Amino acid sequence: MRTPALKISLFFAAAAVFTPVLISAQEEQKQNATEQQIPAQQAQAITVNGDTVEYLGDSKEISATGNVSVVYKGTKLSCKKLVVNTQTKEGQAEGGVRIEDAKGIIEGERVSYNFQTKVGYINDAAFRFYPFFGRAEKGEKVSDNEFIARRGYMSTCDLDKPHYRFRSRRMNCFPGDKIQTRDTTVYFWGVPVANLPEYNQSLADPIMHVQLMPGNRKDWGPYMLSTWRYKLTDNLSGRINLDFRQKLGIAEGFGANYQNEKFGKGDLKVYYTDEHPDETLPGEPTEFQRSLVRWRHKWEIDDNTSFISEYYQISDEKRKKLGNQNSFLKDYFFREFEKDSEPLTYALLHHSFPSSTVDFYMQKRTNHWFSQIDKMPEVKYTVPNLRLGESPFYFENLSAFDSLNMKVESENTDLTMNRLDTSNKFSLPMKVSVIRLTPFVMNRATYYDKDVNGKSISPRTIFYSGADASTKFFRIFNVKSNFLGMDINGLRHIITPTVAYSYNHKPSISSSRLKQIDSVDSIARSNSASLLLSNKLQTKRKNKTVDFLDFRVSSNYTFKTGEGGRGGNLGDLFFDTTLLPYSWMRLDADATYSHYNDYFSSVNYDVGFNFGKGALGIGQRYQRKSNNEITGSFKWTFNPKWRLSVYERFYVRNPSSTNKGLQEQEYVLTRDLHCWEMDIAYNSKAIEGDSIWMIFRLKAFPELAFNFNQSYNAPKSGAQQQ
C-alpha cells in the first residue's frame, strides 16, 4: 500500500496479524475504529507521518520518506527516511535524525533505534541535556535514562565552535541527573588549559566545582578565595576552601552536606585560620588562632514529628586578647554576621497531636561572651483555638516548663530558675450588627522553685480579660481616568477599623520578689487598647485588582492604672504606606510620630523605578538624634552585551561613627560573553578601603561561593504586598 501524505497508526500486540491488502479510505476508517477498541494493556500505538508512507506486509515493516515523524511513548523521532519493523519495533533512520523527549535531544545523520526499549546507536551525534550541549563521533542510547557519547566534547556554550569545552574519550550522560567524563581535557578558545582524569557534573544541582575569586581590600590586601566542590555519594557532598589574604594569612575550611532517608539531612561547616596580621601595635600579639564550627540538622521523623538543631562554636583568640570589638564572624563571614551576630545553639523536637502540640527545646550558650539564656530544657504544650463541642465557646492553653540560667556579666554571677507557666483562655466569637466581636477571659498561673532570696514562694496568678472588635466599610467610585498616566479604572475605598482591648489584673506576686530573666518575670498590671485604622484604594489594571494605595495608622492607648483610675496615655503613632501610582513605580514608607513631643522619631522610605532597560532605587533610614542614612542603586542595560550596576551609601549623620558623607560605593560592569558573564567590580568603603575583583561566571552555573557585591534591597515596582 502506497499513498502520499498518509498517517498510519499501528498497534504492537502479540496477537496482531497484518495482511498486505489495498485498503480504501472507508475501510481504513473502519480498521482504525476496530483498532481503537483494543485495550491499552494489550496494545501500544505508534504513529508514523511522512510525505510518502509504505507498509510492507511480508517483512512487517513501514517505510517512510520525506518529512518523517514518529511519536511513541512520549518520544518523537523526525528524519528524512525511516524503516521500522512493526514486530521488533526497531527502526533505521537517516538524514537529519532528531530524537526528542522530556529529558533532552539527540541528533545525528544515521540512527538505529528501538522504540520499545529506547536503545539506539548514532553516528556523528549531537546532544542537548540542559544546560549542556555536545557532539561525539559515536553515540549510544543505553536506556531511557543513560546516553554514552564517545570521542567528543560538551559545553554550556551552544555555538558551533564553543568558547570553552570539555573534550573526552567517553561521556556518560544521565539526563536530569548527572554527567560523568573520563580522560578529559578542558579547552578555552581552542587552547588546552587543564587535564582531568575524571569529571562529574550534577544536572540536578548545576553548580561549578571549582570557583576562584581574586580581589583587593584595604583590611585584607590582595586576596584569592577558592572553593572546590566534591560529591562522594548521592547523599554526601560539600566544599573545601583554601583562602589567601595578604594582610592576614592563609585560611582553610570544609563543608559537608548529607542526607539520610531515616535520619534526615544537615550540613557541617568548619573554617580555621592562624592569623598573622602584617601590621600590629607595639606589645600586641602577632598571631591569633580563630575558627568556626557550625552544624545544622533537620529530621522529619514522621508526619507529626520533626527535629531541628543548630550548633555554633566560635574560638577567637583575637577577641580574647584585643577586646570585644573583634568578631570572627564579622571579619570573615560578614553576611552571616549581619543576619545574626550571636547565633544560637539549640535542639528542638516538635510533635503534633490532633488538637494540640508539644515542643521539647534545649538551648545552650556555647560561646561565653554571647548574651544568651540557657534553657535546659524548655517544654511547651499548646492547645490552639479549639471549639468546645457544639458550643460557641473556644479554648486555648499554653503551658511551659523552663529550667533557666543566665550569665550576669556586671555581677560575674549566674541567675538560675525553674519555672512552670500556664495560661487558659476562653473566648466567644460573635457578630454584633456589622462588628466582629471576640470577648475573652484568661487566667495565668506561674510556679517558681524559689524567689530572689532563695526562699520558697507561692504561685503567682494573673487574671486577664478583653475583647477584639473589627468591621469593614467600602464604597465604589465609578472613576475612569488616565490623569498623569496613572491608568485608573474605577476606585474601591475600603476602611477597616480594629480595636483590641486587653486588661490584666495586678499579679498576686510582685516582680520585685522574682529573679528577672525574661519578660515573663516582669509582668505588671496593664490596661490598654491597640488601635488600627486601615485605608485602602483599589483599582483595575489589565483586568487585575491593584492596591493603588494602602495606608495604615496604629497606636496603643494605655489607661491610667494608678490612684483613681482616670486619664490615660496615647502612645506613639505608627504610619505605614504603600503606593503604586504606576506599574513601573512603587513607594513603601513607614514612620513613627511622638505626639507628646510633637516630632517624628523615625522615618524610612524606599522608592523603586523600573524603566525596562534600567532600574533606580532610592531609600532613606532616619532616626532622630541618631542615624540618617541614604542608599541608592542604579542598573542600566546598554545593549545585550553590556550592563552597569551602581550602589551608593551616604551618611547624613551617624553619631556612632566619626565618618560622614559617602560611606560606600560599588560599580559593577558586566559583559555578556555568550555562555559566560564577566563582572569587573570596584568597591570602596570609608572604613575598610577599596576592593577590586573580576568574576567569570558561567550562565548555566550562576551560584558563587563568595558574593561580595551590594544590591539595593527595594521592592519591585508594580508588585503587590501581601
What CATH number is associated with residue 1? Answer: 2.60.450
- DSSP 8-state class, residue 512: G
* Domain match, 258 and 176 both: no
264 in any annotated domain: yes
Q: Which residues of 14-26 are buried (b: 16+ CB within 10 A; e: fewer)?
A: eeeeeeeeeeeee
- 218 alpha carbon, distance to own chain's centre: 32
Nearest to 292 by CA among 320, 311, 266: 311
Is the distance from CB of 235 to CB of 259 less than 8 angstroms?
A: yes
- 23 alpha carbon, distance to own chain's centre: 61
* Domain match, 346 and 214 both: yes
Q: Please tell me the predicted confidence (pLDDT) of residue 718.
A: 32
Q: Please tell me the predicted confidence (pLDDT) of residue 293.
A: 95
Instruction: Compute mean pLDDT per 10 residues along the chain, 722 residues long, and list them.
Output: 38 29 33 32 64 83 89 85 86 90 86 86 87 87 86 82 84 83 83 79 63 76 83 83 90 93 93 86 84 95 95 91 86 83 93 95 90 92 93 96 85 86 96 93 95 92 96 90 83 95 94 91 93 93 87 92 65 94 92 92 94 91 89 92 92 70 89 78 77 71 38 32 32
* Domain match, 123 and 179 both: yes
Q: Find all residues with CB under 8 Å of 676, minimum gap 6, and list them.
A: 163, 164, 696, 697, 698, 699
At 44, the amino acid letter reads Q
Residue pointed to by grid coordinates 545552650: 364
Q: Are strands 132-143 and 146-155 parallel, antiparallel or unpaired?
A: antiparallel
* Domain match, 629 and 695 both: yes
Is the distance from CB of 592 to CB of 573 less than 8 angstroms?
A: yes
At 356, the amino acid letter reads S
Per-residue cell: 221:
590586601
The tally of domains found in the chain comes to 4
* Domain match, 51 and 129 both: no
218 in any annotated domain: yes
Cα–Cα distance for residue pair 640/571, rounded to 1 Å: 54
- Number of helical (H) and strand (E) elements in the chain, helices listed first: 4, 43
Q: How many C-beta atoms surround the C-beta of residue 127 within 10 A? A: 25
Cα–Cα distance for residue pair 372/404, rounded to 1 Å: 11
Nearest to 2 by CA among 29, 31, 22, 18: 22
- DSSP 8-state class, residue 506: P
Looking at the DSSP assignment, which residues form a beta bridge with residue 360? 349, 379
* Domain match, 141 and 157 both: yes
624 in any annotated domain: yes
Q: Please tell me the predicted confidence (pLDDT) of residue 549.
A: 92
State the DSSP H helix or E strand holding residue 464, giving kind and residue range, or none if neither.
strand 460-470
Q: On the CB side of 409, how many CA atoms lie within 13 Å of its CA?
A: 6
* Domain-ending residue, one of 147, 177, 206: 206
State the DSSP H helix or E strand holding residue 633, giving kind and residue range, or none if neither.
strand 628-639
Read off φ and ψ for residue 713, nearest 5 degrees: -90, 75
pTM for the structure as a whole:
0.65
Cα–Cα distance for residue pair 36/9, rounded to 1 Å: 10
At 134, the amino acid letter reads G
Cα–Cα distance for residue pair 155/174, rounded to 1 Å: 15
Q: Give SS3 for 672.
A: strand
Question: Is the omega angle on the peptide bond into residue 377 within 30 degrees of 0, that is, cis?
Answer: yes
* Domain-ending residue, one of 336, 371, 406: 371
580 in any annotated domain: no
- DSSP 8-state class, residue 716: P
Full residue range of the structural domain in which residue 87 is found = 1-100
* Domain match, 677 and 644 both: yes
576 in any annotated domain: no
559 in any annotated domain: no
Cα–Cα distance for residue pair 469/474, rounded to 1 Å: 17
Is the distance from CB of 722 to CB of 550 less than 8 angstroms?
A: no
Q: Give SS3 for 529.
A: strand
- DSSP 8-state class, residue 176: T
Q: Please tell me the predicted confidence (pLDDT) of residue 447.
A: 96
Q: Please tell me the predicted confidence (pLDDT) of residue 409.
A: 67
Residue pointed to by grid coordinates 512487517: 60
* Domain-ending residue, one of 156, 189, 206: 206
Per-residue cell: 93:
533512520
49 in any annotated domain: yes
* Domain match, 136 and 194 both: yes
* Domain match, 360 and 214 both: yes
239 in any annotated domain: yes
* Domain match, 77 and 157 both: no
Q: What is the 3-state secondary structure (H, E, C) of 36-66?
A: CCCCCCCCEEEEEECCEEEEECCCCEEEEEE
- DSSP 8-state class, residue 450: -
**Angle 108-111-115 (CA atoms, 0-180°, nearest 5)?**
120
* Domain match, 178 and 225 both: no
* Domain match, 35 and 78 both: yes
Nearest to 173 by CA among 209, 133, 205, 114: 133
